[in-house]
């Protein structure tokens, strides 16, 4: 792990741990980072330590980072342990007892044992030879020791001594949490027994110390801290005699816990009256605009707009901390002026300001407040996406779009007067669509607007046309609006806020008008009932009776042919055999039945055989012209005799 930690020199006296971490985080994720301060002072001693999660990031930082706010710094790999005078304030390192004169001879031995690993959760079937065989591929194994109980049984852990730290570190990285003899083992750096005892005693006394209680905010973090101590993650900085003493990495774990707890700690000035809570902010207001208004009362430490944790958008409120209590009081006095021209305004909205309270008091006030039920109609969503004339959101919107929005808003309010109409939480209605946008384009647009991930699922997407689409025919003319339904409300809300009034979606003069769709609870109940009936219907339909019953011939019933049901009603010709001249039989092909009306009851045994329809003579102009010429020649050759003969012949019928 020594390759992960860097030692930073020549830091300015104003250096802080947070800023140092911010600088080194540009290279890669930083696991731990702190600067060393003087005892009883906030000034930095000019040195600090940075621990990365990956060795590659540490190597990059060695070559890429060489200054701290313009001041040149020195970055090297950590090799020496921290001296007593360089301990970070508030961090208690596990130090071994002072080396007495009779213990100085052990320095050489400790130096040799620094590349030593401990293997826990070891199988009782594993022997020293097995361990040596397993770890020899990572380097030279000098010694393998499995401690035994007084009765000769194995204790379940072992020590392995490597020749150098590089080989030991490689073995630790490759074998930790891997199986040896069908049992997963935990491999860590070994520490001297006196250090381990000091660590455990320090942790025990630390729980009894009253000063530590302020850091024990949650049992979960408390357990993590104990796990870091007892699991035995350790770190080595040194290469000389004193560097053989290995510092327990719980120091860094404890520092990380302190850092997390400092972030969760309550502000120290809550009871000092320097922080104000600001409400009635515009959702478009930014911290710079608020700070510009408040600076007239005094210097500020910070201004923070409260953001929604899910959407990342402003909640319409903020906190501002002044450096003095008097400045906060002056600000509150001006803000509480209720006259029309009084008070403080940001982005055209009058601000409501009060002194900030602690989290406990805020939760108490919230519990005492009267809770209002939002109702089952989701009327609060009706205002989502509303663009009012004169607001910042209406800047650049064309007059035609504003007129459409006003008309849609009036229609929405009129419909919501009906108690059966409610606002859907997952279904969006998108107006102002170009005529060229089809279902596929709208689906792709809404999916990307909701995040584009696998979690954003769309169950319905329709573009409305002037006539119902028919397969194989050209689609009708688009009506310019459509509906999109998501599986989750969060994705629908995210898509609405991304698409609504966005000038980059289509054109700046034709922006999408997106709102939550209005639904009729009565129609939805009917739709659900139809769906339930369709699900309860049997899969196979019963054959229709008396529809195509075969005719009876000579007392024998003929067999009906099989037919499909998926295409609706189909006729089946009746089977009848005819004898040929050679004595063979074949099926007679019947003509098409002439009856096309409703079925006549009791008329099932008669065989329909209508006469063949008279074929309509196809008129041919050439034939007509030829017939006309023939008639003319007959008249010339025969004269009127043909006409008289025909008349005489006709008169015979009347004689």
Phi, psi values for residue 464, rounded to 5°? -85, 135
The rounded average pLDDT for each run of 10 residues, N- to C-terminus, in the chain (655 residues) is 80 87 84 84 86 84 85 81 45 40 45 77 89 90 89 88 87 89 88 63 48 41 40 38 37 46 52 88 87 89 86 86 90 86 86 87 70 69 86 87 90 90 92 90 89 80 80 75 91 90 89 92 89 75 44 44 34 52 59 42 46 60 80 78 47 47
The DSSP string of 213-243 is GGG---HHHHHHHHHHHHHT-EE---SSTGG
Planar angle of CA 109, 114, 117, nearest 5 degrees: 120
Structure tokens at 305: 């707009």
- State the pLDDT at residue 473: 62
Distance CA 479, CA 500 (A): 18
User: How many Å apart are CA 588 and CA 591, to the nearest integer?
Assistant: 10
pLDDT confidence of residue 239 = 37
| Interval 32-91: pLDDT, tens | 888 888 877 878 888 888 888 888 888 888 888 888 888 888 888 887 554 444 444 444
The pLDDT tens digits of the residues spanning 350-393 come to 889 999 888 878 777 776 655 555 567 888 888 888 888 888 88
Q: What is the pLDDT of residue 391?
A: 83
Residue 427 near residue 516 (C-beta atoms within 8 A): yes
Which domains are present in the chain? 2-78 (3.30.70.330), 275-368 (3.30.70.330), 380-536 (3.30.70.330)
Annotate 167-183 with three-state secondary structure: HHHHHHHHHCCCECCCC
Burial of 472 (0-12, 13-18, 19+ CB in 10 A): exposed
Whether the pTM exceeds 0.85: the reply is no
Cross-strand partners of 72: 67
The pLDDT of residue 319: 92
pLDDT at position 454:
64
Per-residue pLDDT, 275:
92
Spatial separation of the C-alpha atoms in residues 532 and 312, rounded to whole Å = 40
- Quick one: pLDDT at residue 531? 87
pLDDT of residue 633: 83
Q: What is the DSSP code (8-state) at residue 383?
A: G
């Amino acid at each position: 792990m020594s390759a992960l930690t860097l030692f930073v020199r020549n830091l300015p006296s104003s250096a802080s741990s947070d800023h140092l971490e911010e600088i080194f985080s540009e290279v890669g994720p930083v696991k731990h980072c702190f600067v060393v301060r003087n005892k009883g002072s906030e000034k930095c001693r000019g040195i600090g330590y940075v621990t990365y999660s990956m060795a590659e990031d540490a190597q990059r930082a060695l070559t890429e980072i060489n200054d701290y706010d313009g001041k040149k710094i020195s970055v090297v790999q950590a090799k020496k342990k921290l001296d007593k005078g360089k301990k970070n304030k508030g961090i208690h390192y596990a130090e071994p007892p002072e080396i007495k004169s009779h213990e100085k001879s052990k320095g050489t031995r400790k130096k040799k044992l620094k590349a030593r690993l401990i293997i826990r959760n070891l199988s009782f079937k594993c022997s020293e030879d097995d361990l040596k065989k397993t770890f020899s591929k990572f380097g030279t194994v000098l010694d393998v020791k499995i401690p035994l109980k007084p009765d000769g049984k194995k204790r379940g852990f072992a020590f392995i001594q490597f020749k150098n730290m590089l080989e030991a570190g490689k073995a630790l990285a490759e074998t930790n949490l891997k199986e040896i003899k069908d049992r997963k083992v935990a491999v860590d750096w070994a520490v001297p027994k006196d250090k381990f005892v000091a660590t455990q005693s320090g942790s025990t006394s630390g729980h009894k110390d009253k000063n530590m209680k302020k850091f024990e905010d949650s049992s979960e973090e408390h357990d993590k801290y104990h796990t870091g101590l007892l699991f035995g993650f350790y770190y080595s900085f040194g290469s000389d005699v004193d560097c053989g003493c290995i510092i327990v990495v719980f120091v860094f774990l404890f520092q990380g816990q302190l850092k997390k707890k400092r972030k969760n700690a309550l502000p120290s000035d809550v009871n000092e009256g320097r922080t104000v809570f600001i409400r009635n902010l515009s959702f478009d207001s930014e911290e710079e605009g608020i700070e510009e208004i408040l600076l007239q009362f005094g210097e500020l430490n910070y201004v923070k707009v409260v953001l929604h944790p899910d959407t990342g958008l402003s909640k319409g409120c903020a906190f501002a901390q002044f450096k003095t209590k008097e400045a906060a009081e002056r600000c509150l006095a001006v803000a509480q002026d209720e006259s029309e021209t009084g008070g403080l305004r940001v982005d055209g909205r009058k601000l409501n300001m009060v002194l900030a309270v602690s989290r406990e008091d805020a939760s108490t006030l919230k519990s005492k407040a009267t809770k209002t039920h939002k109702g089952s109609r989701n009327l609060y969503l009706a205002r989502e996406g509303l663009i009012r004339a004169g607001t910042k959101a209406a800047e650049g919107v064309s007059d035609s779009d504003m007129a459409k929005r006003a008309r849609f808003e009036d229609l929405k309010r009129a419909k919501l007067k009906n108690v059966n109409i409610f606002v859907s939480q997952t279904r969006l209605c998108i107006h102002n669509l170009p005529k060229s946008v089809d279902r596929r384009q709208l689906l792709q647009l809404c999916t990307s607007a909701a995040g584009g991930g696998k979690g954003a699922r769309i169950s319905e997407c329709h573009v409305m046309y002037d006539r119902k689409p028919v397969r194989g025919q050209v689609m009708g003319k688009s009506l310019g609006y459509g509906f999109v339904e998501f599986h989750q409300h969060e994705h629908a809300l995210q898509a609405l806020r991304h698409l609504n009034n966005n000038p980059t979606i289509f054109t700046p003069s034709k922006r999408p008008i997106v709102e939550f769709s209005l639904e009729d609870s009565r129609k939805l109940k009917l739709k659900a009932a139809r769906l339930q009936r369709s699900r309860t219907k049997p899969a196979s339909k019963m054959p229709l009776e008396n529809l195509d019953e075969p005719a009876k011939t000579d007392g024998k019933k003929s067999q009906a042919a099989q037919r499909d049901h998926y295409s609706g009603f189909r006729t089946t010709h009746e089977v009848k055999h005819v004898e040929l001249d050679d004595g063979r039989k074949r099926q007679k092909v019947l003509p098409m039945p002439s009856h096309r009306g409703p079925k006549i009851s009791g008329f099932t045994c008669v065989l329909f055989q209508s006469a063949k329809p008279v074929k309509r003579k196809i008129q041919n102009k050439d034939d007509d012209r030829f017939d006309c010429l023939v008639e003319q020649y007959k008249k010339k050759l025969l004269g009127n005799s043909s006409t008289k003969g025909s008349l005489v012949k006709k008169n015979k019928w009347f004689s």
